[in-house]
Amino acid sequence: MVGNMKAKDILRIKGPEVITIGTNRTLHEAIEVLTKNKIGVLLVINEEGKLSGIVSERDIIRTIGSNFDSFSDIKVSDIMTRKIIYADAEDPIEYLETIMTNNRIRHIPIMNQKVLVGLVSIGDVVKHMLKDVIADNKYMFDMISGNVK
């Protein structure tokens, strides 16, 4: 059932891998990392190895749009979002969906006891919610048709 699924369940299936980039890297380097890994967002790590921001394809495109001739030398730290919204590994998937929708974000870092354990996208959330809805519908259909007692 959907109500029992948590962020950690998505990470168990998806895996904990998170691609990061340093604050002092350029947008050109960020584009290379995004393209190479076929992803849409990078978590930004400072010199101490701490999460200090997040940068998305949209952030980069907006910056390129207003700095077309000089964008490749701009630092990731100059355009990253510094106010990061986190979720906990124990948070229900419905909570993640609500937070992401209300804040108009597509990715949310997942923490467990203040340690980064993964990154969940809105696509991950929708996929898992849909899978559970399909399973619930099949169960209800089987119950109605007498296949389950």
- Enter the DSSP assignment of 70: T
> What is the domain extent for residue 23?
2-144
Contact indicator for 104, 85 with CB cutoff of 8 Å: no
Is residue 137, in this structure, part of any structural domain at all? yes
Contact indicator for 81, 54 with CB cutoff of 8 Å: yes
pLDDT tens-digit profile of 24-55? 999 999 999 999 999 999 999 999 988 999 99
Tell me how crowded residue 117 is: count the other CB atoms within 10 A of its CB.
Answer: 16
Task: Indicate the pTM of the whole model.
Answer: 0.79
Total domains, the chain: 1
Place of tokens 């584009």: 31
The predicted structure's pLDDT at residue 1: 43
pLDDT tens-digit profile of 68-116? 888 888 999 999 999 999 999 999 999 999 999 999 999 999 999 988 9
CATH number of the domain where residue 99 is located? 3.10.580.10
